Amino acid sequence: MGDRQTSGPARSRQLLFLAGCAAAVLTVAGYVMLTTSRSGSRAAASATASAPIITAVPEGAVMLFRNAAPGPLYGRIAVATLANADLSRQITPIACERVHYAAGWGVCMMSDEARLPIRYSAFIFDRFFERHQTIALTGPPVRARVSPDGRRAALTVFERGHSYADESFSTKTIIVDTTGGPAADLEQFAVEKDGHGFKAVDFNFWGVTFARDGDRFFATLKTGGERYLVRGSVDARTMTVVRPGVECPSLSPDGALIVFKKPLQHGIGWHLNVLDLATGTERPLNQVRPSVDDQVDWFDDRQVVYHDSASEGTGIWVLPVDGVTPPRLILPHAYSPAISRN
Binding site for other proteins (CB under 8 A): 1, 4-7, 10, 13-14, 16-17, 20-21, 24, 27-28, 31-32, 35-36, 68, 70, 74, 97, 116-120, 138-140, 142, 158-161, 163-169, 171, 201, 267-269, 289-294, 306-309, 313-314, 335
Cα 320 to chain centroid, rounded: 20
Q: Shortest gap between Cβ of 178 and other proteins (angstroms)?
A: 25
Q: Among residues 151 and 227, whose Cβ is nearest to other proteins?
A: 227
Q: Shortest gap between Cβ of 56 and other proteins (angstroms)?
A: 28
Q: Among residues 214 and 249, whose Cβ is nearest to other proteins?
A: 249
Q: What is the 3-state secondary structure (H, E, C) of the chain?
A: CCCCCCCHHHHHHHHHHHHHHHHHHHHHHHHHHHHHCCHHHHHHHHHHHCCCECCCCCCCCEEEEEECCCCCCCCEEEEEECCCCCCCCEEEEEECCEEEEECCEEEEEEEECCCCCCEEEEEEEECCCCEEEEEEECCCEEEEEECCCCCEEEEEEEEECCCCCCCCEEEEEEEEECCCCCCEEHHHCEEEECCEECCCCCCEEEEEEECCCCCEEEEEEEECCEEEEEEEECCCCEEEEEEECCEEEEECCCCCEEEEEEECCCCCCEEEEEEECCCCCEEECCCCCCCCCCCCEECCCCEEEEEEECCCCEEEEEEECCCCCCCEEEECCEEEEEEECC
Q: Among residues 149 and 294, whose Cβ is nearest to other proteins?
A: 294
Q: Shortest gap between Cβ of 126 and other proteins (angstroms)?
A: 27
Q: Shortest gap between Cβ of 232 and other proteins (angstroms)?
A: 22
Q: Shortest gap between Cβ of 144 and other proteins (angstroms)?
A: 13
Q: Shortest gap between Cβ of 165 and other proteins (angstroms)?
A: 6
Q: Among residues 139 and 150, whose Cβ is nearest to other proteins?
A: 139
Q: Among residues 313 and 323, whose Cβ is nearest to other proteins?
A: 313
Q: Among residues 164 and 188, whose Cβ is nearest to other proteins?
A: 164
| Residue 237 neighbours by CB under 8 Å, 6+ apart | 184, 188, 189, 190
Q: Among residues 211 and 310, whose Cβ is nearest to other proteins?
A: 310
| Residue 331 neighbours by CB under 8 Å, 6+ apart | 65, 80, 87, 89, 315, 316, 337
Q: Shortest gap between Cβ of 156 and other proteins (angstroms)?
A: 11
Q: Shortest gap between Cβ of 91 and other proteins (angstroms)?
A: 17
